[in-house]
Structure 1
Amino acid sequence: MGVCFTGMRKKWKEARRYWLINAAILFSAILVIGGTQEQEVYAENSDPNIFVHGLTGFGYGELGPKLRYWGGTTQNIIGDLTNKGYSSMEAVVSPFGSNWDRAIELYYYIKGGTVDYGAAHAEKHGHERYGRTLPGIYPQWSGENRVHLIGHSQGGQTSRMLDTLLREGSVEEQEYARANGLELPEIFSGSKTWVRSITAIATPHNGTQVASLAKGLLHEVIYGSAFIANSSVVNLTYDFKLDQWGLKQFPGETKKNYLRRVFSSKVWHANEDIVLYDLTTEGAMKLNEQTSLSSDVYYFSFSGNATYKGVFSNNYYPSITVFPLYSIPAAYIGATGGREWRQNDGLVPVISALYPFGQSYKAADGNPTAGMWYVEPTIQGWEHMDFVGQDYTQAPFLKRSVQNFYQNIVVRNRSL
């Protein structure tokens, strides 16, 4: 049998180019991020940092003792920051709820009380008005005791929604309460500047092309989380926190049957009050129109890029460091939409993570200004889950870089 040495040399050159490009991306990330020094602590405010998870997020202990949303299996980001003197707390909201519902849950998770999604909102979307009763992780929250919101992925959108609701309230809920003689929940009354800053990390401010694949990937994303947590899929204990939609686990119901019932629920279809809509470009555009910036609040954004441009095309391809679960969406985004939408972190296009279209912004220049987005340079080589230490293949190598990343955020927050 003959051997085509010309073909072999060509394939070897292509493979070598592929590995060199990805090695360069990883090396650049190490140089740019890994060498960051911890900043000196100086206090101008003592407001706590409230961490808000994104899509499929969970609280510590929900997927077993080995996995944290903020730190994966290699570190405890929130605990480490608190131990260093930066008060930091984890907020837990629905992993699949709409940004409105999640914002309401976030309010009560911080302040405490029975979750009230709003009478007008509940009637409009056909779910229960009230949710769980929560003790509150910072019940003294007020204009005198403000907070810094740090949101990863959808957590950034949710934080923006809450900030706007606190300041502007909801005219729809106010009018509905007056017309029906109802007491208006405090969150809908407005005039509350309770947020000092918002840091949006790898947030799809303008949506993502991959949202159209989300329904098909839903099972894989959940099962992937179980795999990372080293749990059995059948025995997976996962709290969807969609009680308002009737998706509670019944007494005696097996975990497997519960998951099957959740996945087959009509809530995922033709419903704008759910995450699968909010992450589309259309849903994100509506959110951008509903949210605003305050001259009293600082807004920061971070983006990552874990793709490289094809040699003979305008497509972008996932680097070898991308977690396998996100290679397919990374490649899909890299080949979809206009050229400016193709660089991505595996789930979110770079252009979407920079700032919400239509809102004021400026590139980072060492002088953050309240009332506009302060856009940090895109971190080359970091994929979506590297930002929270959940890419178990990369987490051990990026552990120090991730620590420095959050250290720098909370140091800056304290100085505001």
Structure 2
Amino acid sequence: MEKEIGNRKGFLKKVLVMLGMILFVGVIQESKVYAENSDPNIFVHGLTGFGEGELGPKLYYWGGSTQNIIGDLSKKGYTSMEAVVSPFGSNWDRAIELYYYIKGGTVDYGAAHAAKHGHDRYGRTFPSLYPQWDENNKVHLIGHSQGGMTSRMLDTLIREGSEEERAYALANGIELSDIFSGNRASWIRSITAIATPHNGTQVAALAKNLLHDIIYGSAFIANSSTVNLRYDFKLDQWGLRQAAGESNKNYLKRVFNSSVWKANEDIVLYDLTTEGAGKLNEQTSLSDEVYYFSYSGNATYKGPFSNNYYPLLSMFPVYSASATYIGATGGKEWRANDGLVPVISALYPFGQNNKMADGNLVTGAWYVEPTIKGWEHMDFVGQDYIQAPALKGKVQKFYQNIAERNRSL
């Protein structure tokens, strides 16, 4: 009897040892797969974007009123941060702001650039979001809409700098900002562009009216009024900062009536046109050290009797008119869209290396994910207030997959 009990104890001990070995190996394997880098995900908003708390305590650019995408990712162990730049600035100005927002310091748009376009050289001063940012402490940039274009501009600037700024500083005997010297090829690990108009959008021609609708729509969503809505355009370099004592209503009126929107190639309205986006494609390049990913959505369908595309019934009403306009404008390959951006424009920048998603991740080329059918422009950030509750889980999974992939690079 005692011998039998001893045998049982010996057997149980062997089982426990084997289980322990399995669990130990599992832990090792998990750490190898899921902890290859701890670089933070830095989120870059698009057109009309805003920071946490700007339009109310429970309204997020990244998540709308139903979730906090960045906060949720951080809680799950994926270090994630939000960068806030001008919601209407050009990609050059926004890229400079993004650099200083991450690294810290007073924004220097460049002396040559400021002189050329007629605005102030210096902007706001930012504390550092990620002060250790360098070649040993890289970042993943995740940009929605124009945020993807801005991330591309920053990627090229920190690598190549600006020959124009270097020449101008030398000729005029003035100080050159570090960003324009370049030589920072290893500071970014990956760029993810979500619903980004890499090649522009037909609706840019109607953008000013659309901006007006979006701003006033934001007031409604924030349960405010245009009189009480405090919206920061962050266009200080153009003299459009709200003055002390200036009412919100008068500030909005002054901004919308400003000449900054007219015949200006250093503002968002130009950068989103096919011409402006084409220039950005010529100015930017890809690095052999950086991974590039793109996502697109299609919330339209082809009409039965023409080559026109029409918005799905599920589309957020604010974008139905623009979806219809895009769906009837330009070549037929430009008509399928997400409400603001043609699918063909969101795939990859024309003229840059690219490949369709096949499971083999490479640097130096756009890795183009399959177009998500049924998702419109703001579904990607949870701001379609009709579909947001139903899509909440899918949006969470979408960003968790991106964060998981980024960590494995």
Return the TM-score normalized by structure 1.
0.90
Using the alignment, how far apart are the partners of 2:33 and 2:380 within structure 1?
22
Consecutive unaligned residues of structure 2, counting only runs of 5 or more, are: 1-31
1:122 counterpart SS class: helix
**Could you tell me which residue of structure 2 aligns to residue 241 of structure 1?**
234
Assess if the C-alpha contact under 8 Å between 1:299 and 1:374 holds in 2.
yes
Match of 1:180 among 164, 169, 172: 172
Determine helix, strand or coil for the equivalent of 1:206.
coil
Q: Which residue of 2 aligns with 1:146?
A: 138
User: In the alignment, what sits opposite 1:131?
Assistant: 123
Q: CA deviation at 1:368?
A: 1.1
Match of 2:101 in 1: 109
What are the equivalent positions in structure 2 for 1:9-408 lying under 5 Å apart? 42-193=34-185, 194-408=187-401
Offset, 1:228: 2.1
Deviations 1:51-82 (A, max 9, x none): 00000000011111121000000001000101
Measured after TM superposition, the shift of residue 230 of structure 1 is: 2.1
Give 3-state SS (helix, strand or coil) of 1:257's partner.
Answer: helix
What is the identity, as a one-letter code, of the residue corresponding to 1:158?
A: T
Amino acid at match of 1:257: N
How far off is 1:218 after superposition? Answer: 2.3
Higher mean C-alpha displacement, 281-290 vs 175-184? 175-184
Inter-partner Cα distance in structure 1 for 2:92 and 2:53: 25
Cross-structure match for 2:7? none
Q: Is the 8 A contact 1:205 1:284 kept in 2?
A: yes
Any conservation in 2 of the 1:41–1:411 contact (CA below 8 Å)?
A: no
Structure 1 position 323, deviation (Å)? 0.5
Q: Which whole-Å CA distance do the structure 2 matches of 1:78 and 1:360 have between them?
A: 30
Indicate if the aligned counterparts of 1:46 and 1:414 stay in contact, CA closer than 8 A.
yes
Q: Which moved more, 1:226-235 or 1:320-329?
A: 226-235
SS at the partner of 2:192?
Answer: strand
Cα distance between partner residues in 2 of 1:64 and 1:366 = 40
1 or 2 for the larger relative contact order (CA 8 Å, sep ≥6)? 1
Distance 1:363 1:246, change over 3 A: same
Where does residue 20 of structure 2 map in the other structure? none
Q: Relative to structure 2, which stretch is displaced further, 227-236 or 148-157? A: 227-236
Structure 1 gaps, min length 5: 1-39
CA separation in 2, counterparts of 1:356 and 1:363? 13
Listed one character per residue, the Cα deviations across residues 183-213 of structure 1 (whole Å, up to 9, x for unaligned) are: 2111011110211000000000000000001
**Residue 132 of structure 2: SS of its match in structure 1?**
coil
- Aligned partner of residue 384 in structure 1, secondary structure: coil
Mapped partners of 1:145, 1:184: distance in 2: 24
Instruction: Judge conservation of contact 1:164–1:292 (CA < 8 Å) in 2.
Output: yes
Counterpart amino acid of residue 245 in structure 1: W
Using the TM superposition, give the Cα deviation of residue 181 of structure 1 relative to its aligned residue in structure 2, in angstroms.
Answer: 1.1
- SS at structure 2 position matched to 1:285: helix
Question: What is the distance in 1 between the residues matched to 2:408 and 2:395?
Answer: 20
SS in 1 for 2:81: strand
User: What is the Cα-based RMSD across aligned positions, in Å?
Assistant: 0.9
Kindly provide the CA deviation profile for residues 2-59 of structure 1, in whole angstroms up to 9, marking residues without a partner as x: xxxxxxxxxxxxxxxxxxxxxxxxxxxxxxxxxxxxxx97011110000000000000
Give the distance between the partners of 1:250 and 1:235, measured in 2 at CA. Answer: 15
Give CA-to-partner distance per residue, 1:309-348, whole Å, 9 cap, x none: 1111110000011101000000000000000000000000
- C-alpha distance in 2 between matches for 1:41 and 1:280: 42
Partner Cα separation in structure 2 for residue 148 and residue 186 of structure 1? 21
1:6 aligned residue: none
- The answer to whether the 8 Å contact 2:99/2:154 transfers is yes
Query: Contact conserved, 1:52 with 1:159, CA < 8 A, in 2?
Result: yes
**Letter paired with 2:219:** A
Other-structure match for 1:412? 405
What TM-score, normalized to structure 2? 0.91
2:378 partner SS: helix
Q: CA deviation at 1:216?
A: 2.4
The answer to whether the Cα contact below 8 Å between 2:48 and 2:211 also exists between their aligned partners in 1 is no
3-state secondary structure, aligned to 2:141: strand
Q: Secondary structure at the match of 1:308?
A: strand
Give 3-state SS (helix, strand or coil) of 2:53's partner: coil
Structure-2 residue corresponding to 1:33:
none
